[in-house]
Amino acid sequence: MPSFKGIGGILNSPDQHNMVTSKIDDSPEKNPKTAPARNWLNMVYSPSRLWENRVSWRITITVFITILLVQTSVLLFTVNPYEKEQLEGLREIARTALVSSLNDTKEQMISPLSKQSVKKLLANTLIEGITVYGLDRSAIQNYGAPILLQPKTSSSMLSGYRSVDNLHYEVLLSPGEIGRPYNIIVKLNASSVEPRVVSYIHQSLLILLLLSGFVTSVLMLVLSLWLLEPMILLRNNLLNAARNPEKPNIKRPKKEMCDEIGMAIHIANDMIRQNASNLKRLRIQTENKIHKLAYFDVLTGLPNRTYFLEKLEDNIKHKLLEKDDVLAVLSVDLDHFKDINDTMGHEIGDKLLEAIGKRLVKALPKNAVIARASADEFMIMAHLKPDQPDSSVLVEKVFASMTEPVNILHENFQIRVSIGVSHYPNDGVNAHTILKNADIALNRAKAEGRDTVRYYSQDFDRAVQQRFQMLRDLRNALDQKQLHLHYQPQFNLKTGQLIGAEALLRWWRPDSSKEGGAFISPVEFIPVAEQSGLIVPIGEYVLKTACETNKMWQKKGIPPFRIAVNLSGVQFHRGDITSLVANILKETKLEPRWLEIEVTESVFMENMQTTIDILHQLHQQGVEIAVDDFGTGYSSLSYLRQFPIDRLKIDQSFIRNSLMNIDDRMITKAIITLGHSLGLKVIAEGVETIDHENFLREEDCDEVQGFKYTKPIPADKFLTFVIDYNRNLAKNNKMSMVE
Ligand code: C2E
Ligand code: MG
Ligand code: MG
């Protein structure tokens, strides 16, 4: 039988609770055969369950105590009359006995009682003493035990007197009561009265207890049916709702109840159900929202990388693919999107991404999964059935969708994309590898000129591994003095004077070959250094060495010239380049005018305002600024006007092709004209032949640099080269280039 527990106990004890609900659960519908018996049992059993309930305890105790109190007070009122009644009974017995013993003779006035009858009375009745008084209240006769009561006071005459130990009772029998002309006071043995009263109290108390118990039980039974049972049901329903608000296990009363409690249960159940459905709806909404945020890109509404990866994993793990199926994964990157974003603003960038997303969705098959993986990278996944064309069809669809320019705010943007493709299962058996390989192929496509596609091959992986190895080696290269500078001279095309030298980095990487090492091209290792941030210390070394070397040459007495140092965008935006340049110039005591900083156009485009500020600070120090590889980037007039530039450096590719390719020739001419119109000097690099030189002279180019004069050479050789060159120049006193 369940023992009483407080609410806390019930709340903390699911077993207890289950026990309660399981009893409620025991519905007749479940087992029709035993149903009536159960119902009956329930009825009888119900009150016991009430002990689990505090209210029932309170009601029971209150009712019990109340009945007890009421009956006790009733008892208190009846004890006295009962006692009096007992005494009165004694008195009556004494009176009757006495009257029958009184003399009816003449001598009655002298001796109302004969000795014999007194003796009888004292022996056979409760009478222990007798005093007879005349009407004048004078004592006539006195027998037996002495009597304390005197017929003098009117009050004692009326009531009688009871001894302190309650064993004796003295009463006055008046002439009217005994029918004789005298008063008689008798002393009675009253020892039986008190036990009778006590027994009366005991009996009454027993009846009282039984009655209270009976009334309480009946009350509890009634309460259990109409009040407490429904209350427990209500409480349990609320408890269930509190424990599991979304799926509350709520019960209905066994019988429909039309009273207030029934209504309360009904309302509470409705509210619990309503609350549960609201919570469910809210949860579903929140889950959907979280799902959307976690798996979808807010801007394009397309799935994100996480979703894509999970879908890919799903396909692979759960074998959604058929036996010979192939899964193609395309990684699509927008070429130069960052530049558009930076120059045109993020609003345009966002709209562009949205438009591209829509185009891809439109162009690709319905079952293809298209996701936006990062800022400007989209991922595509599609099943290729053995009888279906290969992934090149998908690639073509992507390229075709980009042919038309995207119109945003009345501006046309011609978007080009680079694509990397990998296939499951050929290029990897798990989702991560497939994705990674598509990215590797994409990087290859970007490295090889963009606007193109590359299909993953294991050679790419090797290239990536080599890059990692290169990075590891490059970290040591600086400490182990494997990095050196070579110098390539620059000349004034009109006077033939040597006016500068470009410092170009060389890395001699030792290996186990016969030669003991090999030169690694800066074209290979500079991007690795830029990506890893190593370019910052390397660039510092280059700047310092170039300035030191130039100062050293000046000290040797050769006519001073500028030293041009290439700065990467990373250096520009990570370190404090202005202070670095100032410190190095101060340290090496090189005049700022003998230093030139070469930056490519892409540097201008990143953080335009910061770049303008930095370039102005450098320029104010007296350092010259040249735009390297001019013509390959934006070549926009607008930035040329804003930046403090001294020199445009025509990219060597234009010079190299200028004799064969009319376009490159035209571009070279245009750059020279543009530079001059802005008051800038124009230098051409990549001058390899006399024809190049003649063409540039015709076009009024100011300065030249290239293999025609010399390849980049170490500092000592460069010094010899300069001395020889200047000697020859002076000798000929005319422009003469070394053959
Ligand atoms: P760049 O600044 O445009 O340097 C010119 C490149 O053209 C040099 O290649 C040079 O050797 C090469 N060159 C010069 N004349 C001719 C020619 O007549 N024909 C041909 N085919 N090439 C010629 P290099 O030294 O391999 O440097 C390649 C690039 O590496 C440089 O291009 C520059 O962007 C980068 N680089 C080199 N040194 C540094 C450096 O110290 N710091 C930074 N950030 N980048 C550097
Ligand atoms: Mg350069
Ligand atoms: Mg260049």
pLDDT in tens, 15-53: 333 333 333 333 333 444 444 444 433 443 444 565 666
645 within domain boundaries: yes
Asked whether 485 and 695 are in contact (CB, 8 A), the reply is no
In the structure, what pLDDT confidence band is assigned to residue 156 with cuts at 50, 70 and 90? very low
- Measured from the alpha carbon of residue 626, the closest ligand is 2
Does the structure show a pLDDT above 70 at 718?
yes
Q: Give the pLDDT band (50/70/90) at residue 258.
A: confident
Measured in whole angstroms, the distance separating CA 176 from the mean position of its chain's CA atoms is 105
Instruction: Identify the bridge partners of residue 595 per DSSP, sorted by sequence position.
Output: 563
Same structural domain, 383 and 520: no
**CA angle at residue 371 from 369 to 373, to 5 degrees?**
145
Q: Which residue of 486, 488, 540, 566 sits with most ligand 1 atoms within 8 Å of its CB, as the best mutation to test the pocket?
A: 566
Q: Residue 331 — pLDDT band, cuts 50, 70, 90?
A: very high
Where does a domain end: 456, 481, 502?
A: 456
14 pLDDT band (50/70/90 cuts)?
very low
pLDDT band at 322 (very low <50, low <70, confident <90, very high): low
How high is the pLDDT of residue 540? 95
Q: What percent of the chain lies above the pLDDT cut of 90?
A: 40
| Residue located nearest, by CA, to atom 7 of ligand 1 | 686
Which residue range forms the structural domain that includes residue 397? 296-456
Is residue 391 within 8 A of residue 421, CB to CB? The reply is yes
Query: For 23-27, 216-220, 680-684, which range has the lowest pLDDT when averaged over its residues?
Result: 23-27
Q: Which of 105-114, 127-136, 367-376, 709-718 has the lowest mean pLDDT?
A: 105-114
Residues 569 and 686 in one domain: yes
Strand partners, 488: 502
CATH number at residue 706: 3.20.20.450
Question: What average pLDDT score do residues 699-709 get?
Answer: 97
Residues 655 and 725 both lie in one domain: yes
687 lies in a domain?
yes
Assess whether 678 and 541 both reside in one domain. yes
Distance 487 CA to ligand 1 centre (A): 10
Q: Are 334 and 357 in contact (CB under 8 A)?
A: no
Mean residue pLDDT of the chain comes to 84
The pLDDT value given to residue 21: 36
Q: Does 563 share its domain with 600?
A: yes
Concatenating the DSSP letter of every residue in 45-90 gives HHHHHHTT-HHHHHHHHHHHHHHHHHHHHHHHHHHHHHHHHHHHHH
Listed ranges 181-195, 215-229, 622-636, 700-714; the one with the highest mean pLDDT: 700-714
The CATH number covering residue 159 comes to 3.30.450
pLDDT at 50: 57
Residue 8, pLDDT score: 32
> What pLDDT score does 30 carry?
40
pLDDT of 59 higher than 90:
no
Q: In this structure, are 451 and 486 located in the same domain?
A: no
Looking at the structure, tell me whether residues 631 and 516 fall in a common domain: yes
Domain membership of residue 260 (yes or no) is no
Return the exposure string of 657-688: e unless at least 16 CB atoms fall within 10 Å of the residue's CB, then b. bbeeeeebbebbbebbebbeeeebbbbbbbbe
- Which of the residue ranges 95-99, 104-108, 228-232, 533-537 would you say has the lowest mean pLDDT? 104-108
DSSP character at residue 203 = H
Question: Which ligand has the minimum distance to the alpha carbon of residue 692?
Answer: 1
Cross-strand bridge partners of residue 326 = 384
Q: Sign of the CA dihedral 248, 253, 257, 259?
A: negative
- Flag whether 29 is in a domain: no
Question: 542 in ligand 1 pocket by Cβ < 6 Å?
Answer: yes
Cα–chain center distance at 628: 50
The answer to whether residue 243 sits within a structural domain is no
Radius of gyration of the chain measured on its C-alpha atoms? 60
Q: Summarize the confidence of residues 245-256 as an average pLDDT.
A: 83
Distance 626 CA to ligand 2 centre (A): 9
Task: Yes or no: say if 125 and 93 are a contact pair by the CB < 8 Å rule.
Answer: yes
> What does the buried/exposed string (b/e) look like for 396-421 if buried means 16 or more CB atoms within 10 Å of the residue's CB?
ebbbebbeeebebeeeebebebbbbb
For ligand 1, is residue 688 a contact (CB within 6 Å)? yes
Which-ligand-closest: CA of 656?
1
* H or E segment and range at residue 507: strand 498-510
Shared domain check, 643 and 552:
yes
State residue 31's pLDDT score: 42
In a domain, 515, yes or no: yes
In whole angstroms, what is the distance from residue 20 CA to residue 232 CA?
9
Q: Are residues 378 and 524 in the same domain?
A: no
Token pair of 598 as six digits: 């070469």
Last residue of a domain, one of 414, 430, 456: 456
| Most confidently predicted of 443-457, 485-499, 502-516 | 485-499
**Domain identity same for 448 and 521:** no
Q: For the chain, how many structural domains are there in total?
A: 3
Indicate the residue among 401, 423, 456 that finishes a domain.
456
Single-letter amino acid, residue 728: N
73 domain-assigned:
no
The Cα 37–Cα 35 span in angstroms is: 5
Query: Mean pLDDT throughout 527-533?
Result: 88
In the sheet that 377-384 helps form, which strands lie side by side, from edge to edge?
A: 369-374, 377-384, 326-334, 417-424, 453-455
Q: What is the pTM of this model?
A: 0.52
pLDDT at 2 over 60: no
